[in-house]
Amino acid sequence: MMPHLLNDTKDFEPVLNVVSDPSMFLIRSDMPWKNLREFVDFAKKNPDMITVGNSGAGGGVHLVALAFEKAAGVKFNHIPFSGGGPSVTAILGAHINAVSVSPPEGIEHVKAGKLKIIALFAEKRLEMFPDVLTVKEQGIDFAMGMWRGLIAPKGTPADAIKKLHDAFKLGMGDPAFQKTAKDMAVNLSYLGPEAFGKLMANDHEFFGKLVKEIKK
């Protein structure tokens, strides 16, 4: 069931975007699918058989998984959890077949060899995993992820927005912060208030249409 939210992007003032991460599907390394083609072929032949966990119904990674269904021509059985952590725990325990996440969720388990990236919804490969192909490189024209930024209540004074923007932008440039982000496979992607506002509005429209289509 999709949650009903009363807010939209017009209810907030964009300050800056900090992170833009591609989403991905992770599976256990001992699962039978060796690559994306095998994973998608199985899903096409067995609609609703592949269980894909997410951090909550209607959340970002759930919507990404639904959008990928359309792009790949498949149908998954979506399993919501109470957050990213529980969804990753579920895949580690083999309670689901795959999980939809964005970095850094599950990254340490990929590095340890317990999980593997079966579908990377990025425009380019991850620096940390250069051998992992994007889904575009494997024949499916799809790329989508999660952005994370700072917003303020509608009507926040312009000088306050500027102070928040300048402070957080300065923090993004801190070497220790940048190193931590890199170690966690988090992609820092600065956008100022105007560009961030356009991104918010565009995604609000896209996901709004997607949810309406799902409810039909």
Mean pLDDT value across residues 10-28 = 95
| CATH number of this structure's domain 23-138 | 3.40.190.10
The CB density around residue 144, as the number of other CB atoms within 10 Å, is 21
Cβ neighbours of residue 63 closer than 8 Å, sequence gap 6 or more: 207, 210, 211
Integer Cα distance of 107 and 21 in angstroms? 12
* pLDDT (0 to 100) of residue 135: 97
Beta-sheet strands, E only, within 49-131: 51-54, 77-80, 98-101, 115-121
Q: Which residue has the tokens 């300050």?
A: 15
* pLDDT (0 to 100) of residue 142: 95
Domain boundaries for CATH 3.40.190.10 within the chain: 23-138
The tokens for 210 are 């997607």
Task: Give tens-digit pLDDT for 93-114.
Answer: 999 999 999 999 999 999 999 9
Find out whether 200 and 216 touch, Cβ atoms under 8 Å: no
* pLDDT (0 to 100) of residue 11: 87
The tokens for 208 are 């709004």
Domain boundaries for CATH 3.40.190.150 within the chain: 9-17+145-215
The DSSP H or E segment spanning 199 is helix 193-215
Tell me what the pLDDT averaged over the chain comes to: 92
* pLDDT (0 to 100) of residue 4: 53
Q: What sign does the dihedral 167-172-173-175 (CA atoms) show?
A: positive
* pLDDT (0 to 100) of residue 6: 52
* pLDDT (0 to 100) of residue 47: 96
Integer Cα distance of 125 and 135 in angstroms? 10
Residue 1 has pLDDT above 50, yes or no: no
Q: How does residue 5 score in pLDDT terms, banded at 50, 70 and 90?
A: low
Q: How does residue 2 score in pLDDT terms, banded at 50, 70 and 90?
A: very low
Integer Cα distance of 11 and 14 in angstroms? 10
* pLDDT (0 to 100) of residue 7: 64
Tell me the CATH architecture of domain 9-17+145-215. Answer: 3-Layer(aba) Sandwich (3.40)
Task: Give tens-digit pLDDT for 139-191.
Answer: 999 999 889 999 999 999 999 999 999 999 999 999 999 999 998 889 999 99
* pLDDT (0 to 100) of residue 48: 95
Residue 215 has pLDDT above 90, yes or no: no
